[in-house]
Structure 1
């Protein structure tokens, strides 16, 4: 009986030792931190890995994830500077940087961050007009992050960024904004059309001016070419006439040349009277037929004088 009692006692002792050993080993996952309290007071922070604690004396009071955590900020109504209501919601990204402060700096740092984000957002929106809230989203986000990060330092939390998800004005404002956008687009379309017509008229006027200049230049060049052609023709005729006269003078100086000239002058004289007779019904004859010989002699005198002058 005594042996059975010893065996039972030994078995209980082994079980207690095993339980003690199991309770004395804490396995902390990666990117986590555990807060250990010893007899109700903060003792240490356990980093990832296998760690030893004293069972029934030490206890894991808090477990924190050191990863970046997204936190939705509930939607709320904000009043802008021009007294317009906006329904705004967003999301915060934060990370626990000091597990001890995150455990003891605030009773609930998640709720504290959320409340502070909402109050800061209302304050920032209240200093802006409605149109600016849509244009200055980056500035709003930056202001909220700065304000949250300053306050969250005492909570062992680092606020990384804040993003506004939705900015929703009332339906009446949406309709007014849509009408304003439509009017602005119509205005731009009219301005663009008028600018197009203006440019078209400028192009037409420029084209007509250039065409007129081109025509005047062409007419000027044509007149220059015509004048140069006429001058060249006059020079060519004069040179041909001079060459012909020279050839005639040279021919007269040859033997028999003077007789040929007498014959030619007489033929021209007779042909001239013949042509005069053909043009009318009246026959015209010289008062004295001997005038033919006199005319020929006069013409020959001129020819001889010309030949001697050369």
Structure 2
């Protein structure tokens, strides 16, 4: 009898269980769910009941890389990270054999659909947009899996190696094209500036020559004007003196033939006389 009582006491004392903070306990009786217990001390009937603990804390999860085909048939590799939390321990544990794996498959399917409607260049430059659309598509999974996704993020989108090589070639070609255009524009600018400088130099040279010609013409006009003014102011005796001087030079020269108008023939006698006068004047000077 005492042994029986001891055995009963041992069985009764082994039925106490502790559910930790941020956990819920699912109690099954003979394999069937009976109730949910919160954190703290709880009791189950040994041999008849079983306690399953489910964490309610935020859980990080990394979804490994997998391939997706874009709208323009380009293959890219993506990987994701997310944080989820169990909001309904009963649905999480009993409605699915593996709620986390089911959630991962659902997220992958939505991501394939989102990226599959984008072309490669759009997808590679729209990570934040993809994250937003993916979060909206996932929504609240509590009703299905008992899980709520707190945050989901596409960590990387990498095109295949073949596409990367093609993109590198295109990038190199674009850079070479840009450099060639810049060089051509620089040369064209240089030619433009050089031509402009030469034209300006030619214009300035022509202007300088025109100014010089103008100054020379003005000087000649000034000389002629002054000479004309001097001649206008000279008297009749001045011209007679100039005529006598000219006849003197002519008489002394070897070519002393003078052609004159008949009306001036009477003046020829003055030539020898003038010659003698000049000779006498020269002797006196000597």
Partner of 1:13: 5
- Determine if contact 2:24/2:53 at 8 Å carries over to the other structure: yes
Q: Is 1:66 paired with 2:63?
A: no
Partner of 1:87: 77
Partner of 2:159: 169
Equivalent residue for 1:50, pick from 41, 55, 61: 41
- Determine if contact 1:36/1:46 at 8 Å carries over to the other structure: no
| Aligned structure 1 segments of 4 or more residues deviating by more than 6 angstroms | 194-205
Q: Is 1:37 paired with 2:53?
A: no
**Number of paired residues?**
201
Equivalent residue for 1:23, pick from 9, 15, 24: 15
Partner of 2:111: 121
TM-score by length of 2: 0.59
**Cα shift at 1:175:** 0.8
**Distance across 2 between alignment mates of 1:152 and 1:73:** 20
**Distance across 2 between alignment mates of 1:15 and 1:185:** 86
Which one has a larger percent helix, Structure 1 or Structure 2?
1
**Cα shift at 1:159:** 0.8
**Distance across 1 between alignment mates of 2:87 and 2:179:** 55
Partner of 2:67: 77
**Distance across 2 between alignment mates of 1:113 and 1:77:** 18
Q: Is 1:131 paired with 2:121?
A: yes
TM-score by length of 1: 0.55
Aligned CA-pair RMSD: 3.2
- Determine if contact 2:24/2:36 at 8 Å carries over to the other structure: no
Point out where structure 1 has 5 or more consecutive residues left out of the alignment: 1-8, 209-280, 284-310
**Cα shift at 1:145:** 2.3
5 Å matches for 1:128-207?
Answer: 128-190=118-180
